[in-house]
Chain A
Amino acid sequence: MPIPAKSKGRVLVAMSGGVDSSAAAALLVDQGYEVIGVTMQVWDYSSCNIEEGAGTCCSSSDVDDARSVADLLNIPFYVINCEDEFKEKVIDPFVSDYMAGRTPLPCVNCNTYLKFDRLIEKMQELNCDYLATGHYAQIVHDKNGDAAIVTSTDDWKDQTYFLFTLPKDILNKILFPIGHMNKTDVREYSLKKNLVVARKKDSTGICFVGDKGYANFIRDNYPAAPVKTGNLRLYPSGAVLTQHQGIHNFTYGQRKGLGISSEQPLYVVKVDAESGDVWVGEEKYLFTQKMTIENCHWHKNISPEERLCVKVRYAHKGGEATIEHVEGSIYNVYFSEPQRAITPGQAAVVYDGARLIGGGWIR
């Protein structure tokens, strides 16, 4: 990755207290940057029962971990309070998405509005040249200095899916120090550097939800959220199988916890927010070839003839598709092969080979 020659420069690094961002900070120090660490406090963990540091990205003991890494690296470290913003931009939309029958993806909003908006501003305030995070993603520059995001060398950990909303014009200010490494290397490097977090469990799940699950999170923290109850219907016959306790308890492709018994496996194939009906059916009904996406962000122009790769969820390996502009920031996506459980509320992220082209939100 080309670095301006004059000096290494000053970097603000977002440190969650996890192994990836800790290693990122350590690498930057190694490489001769002037590094400033920052942790965003996003949620008051005293009010939930998350076991400290147990597999989420930002619990309260993680702030202490980030601080101890910063102390070891001998860099300035600050905690900035983002609780209000996090609630407004991440948790509130997360809850309203579920209540409206969608399956939200809060990590993208956290990246959009906190990591790459608030922290970019913080970076400017502190006269930093770059903002760095511990994402598994890479930025490449072509001959003209044009920057693009490409996938991490670690296919398994690649996190570019969560970065599609990044404005293209800030890419030359962003560093992903561990994007060229795989997780094993990151852990080995952290051990070598004596980072206390080297053996910490990977973060999984949604940081603020905890081990009680999202439905309980909503019940405990948003008691006034409007619960839409309705029928559980069999697709395609429409036969009513039972009543359900709210559409927010369901996601496309879900098989467990439907509250019914059936000889053949049944899956949620549609959540109808208007009527409150949740449709279940055989797995074959989960497959579709077309979807509409909205609020799209693009890093380059696309033409309807281009054969691109589209991921419909983080763990999806991606399917070949063409994309056609409808109007505004709305696009239609046509897959070459039917895709399983395309889920409203999730992101559709578009790649040309390893290069991130952009994406949008599934309707």
Chain B
Amino acid sequence: MLNGPIYFDYNATSPIHPELQEKIVEWLPFWGNPSSVHAHGRQAKKLVREARQSIADALGVSPLELIFTSGGSEGNNTVICGLLFSAQAEERKELITTTIEHPSVTRAMDFAETQGFKVHRIEVNRQGELDFFHFERVLSEKTLLVSMMLANNETGILLPIKKIATLAKARGALMHTDAVQAIGKININLGDLGVDYATFSGHKFYALKGTGAIYARRGQEFFNYIHGGGQERGRRAGTENVLAIASMGYMAHKLQKMPEHYEHMLELRDFFEAQILQKIPDAEITSQKAKRVPNTSSVILPGVHGESLLMSLDIKGFSVSTGSACSSGSSEPSVVLRNMGLTRDEAQSSLRVSMGWMTTREEVESFIEALVSIVDHLRNIKNRGDSRANPS
């Protein structure tokens, strides 16, 4: 028997890695300010320095190319909004992104429009394919920045960033990727990807919340967004979130075992999807045939409202999501899924299941059983409701 609620929402946030929980207690005495020259400061600075090295190693970059931030949203905003003030922006007044980005990219792009920039939003269809024809048509010497996510938070699809970066570079455009949903799910080598900027967040790969990192390739312009003290070589002011940074460094070290984690998640996800499609024949996995991270399934369960599904699953002890956690509470179904061409009903009937390193087969099996019985129950009620006379 499984204890407590079971977690299938790793794309929203991940649990703190069990080993890390012990390390954090070890680090608690190192509360000094890393900018201080004295012993207390040095202890804290050591944690930050080691973390930076560990993350740089994991991503195949130099430590000086990393800037610690408060998380993914700050990272995306810093890169996109910052570049609007760069020297290149004098000449290049266009930006390119996709219609399936995280709101911190989408809204930053909206802001760019208010500053006189033209933004091209490239569609990704329900098979998970980017409209390359459109992209190549709008990519030009006027393009300042191409910003596209590495992995999508709702469907798990992977965009061909390496190919996009090559094309962008050929036109002299800068390339940014929001890699928040990719780290901890696939192996990432930034040198190989060929991007100029990338954004990461600690809490999506088992580290503490409140920290993240920007990769800014050496030699590329970087606009300081938060002004103040000289932290991060003057590129991001504010006393470092030492514990969270150290936790991210610790988890970066753990990424060495990524191939094993990848296989583990892939096996569970494929098992889950095969079982669901067998037991709920009219279910559909969005972009199932696309290249995806190994942990995410976006399942359309026709005739079942995602909100009802979520509540019922929660009451049975399963934590899942209907879309990006940031947009829950709004009446509109997932914008990302709608933009990928799902109907309103399909988007409203979509469930996002995301697994992690700690997910077990036993958990997946009990989840499948619960999901199948809840879908059956909800469909029965809906059928009864539809045949009930409408009160006047």
Contact = CB atoms under 8 A, between A and B. Distances in A.
A125 B312 contact: yes
Contacts of B385: 121
A78 to B, nearest CB: 5
Interface string B110-141: 00000000000000000000000000000000
A165 B391 contact: yes
Interface in A326-344: 329
Contact of B308 (A112, A125, A167, A329): A125
Query: Interface residue tally of chain B, by bracket?
Result: 10 to 19
Contacts, number: 38
Contacts of A165: 391
Contacts of B391: 112-113, 117, 165, 167
B392 A125 contact: no
B330 interface: yes
Contacts of B378: 125
A126 B305 CA distance: 13
B314 A41 contact: no
16 contacts: A78-B311, A78-B314, A80-B307, A81-B329, A81-B330, A81-B331, A83-B331, A121-B381, A125-B377, A125-B378, A125-B381, A126-B311, A126-B312, A127-B315, A127-B377, A295-B392
Interface of A: 36, 41, 76, 78-81, 83-84, 112-113, 117, 121-122, 124-127, 165, 167, 295, 329
Contacts of B381: 121, 124-125
A357 B331 CA distance: 37
Nearest to B392: A295
Interface in B304-344: 307-308, 311-312, 314-315, 329-331
Contacts of A84: 331
A36 B308 CA distance: 13
A interface secondary structure, majority:
mixed
Contacts of B377: 125, 127
B238 to A, nearest CB: 29
Nearest to A117: B391
A36 B315 contact: yes
A76 B330 contact: no
Nearest to B329: A79
B330 A125 contact: no
Given A76-B314, A117-B391, A167-B391, A122 B308 contact: yes
A126 B331 CA distance: 20
Given A84-B331, A117-B391, 9 more contacts: A78-B311, A78-B314, A79-B329, A113-B391, A121-B385, A125-B312, A126-B315, A127-B312, A329-B392
A80 B381 CA distance: 18
A7 B20 CA distance: 44
A41 B329 contact: yes
Interface string B367-389: 00000000001100100010000
Contacts of A78: 311, 314
A235 to B, nearest CB: 34
Contact of B315 (A76, A80, A121): A76
Contacts of A124: 381
Nearest to B384: A124
Contacts of B392: 295, 329
B329 to A, nearest CB: 6
A117 B314 CA distance: 22
A44 to B, nearest CB: 9
Contacts of A122: 308, 311
A83 to B, nearest CB: 5
| CB-based closest 8 A-B pairs | A81-B331, A125-B308, A83-B331, A124-B381, A78-B311, A295-B392, A125-B381, A121-B385
A125 B376 CA distance: 11
A58 to B, nearest CB: 15
Nearest to A124: B381
A125 B311 contact: yes
Contacts of A81: 307, 329-331
A113 B331 CA distance: 17
Nearest to B314: A76
A167 B377 CA distance: 24
A113 B392 CA distance: 9
Task: Pick the most buried of B312, B331, B385: most chain A CB atoms within 10 A of its CB.
Answer: B331
Contacts of A83: 331
A152 to B, nearest CB: 24
B4 to A, nearest CB: 14
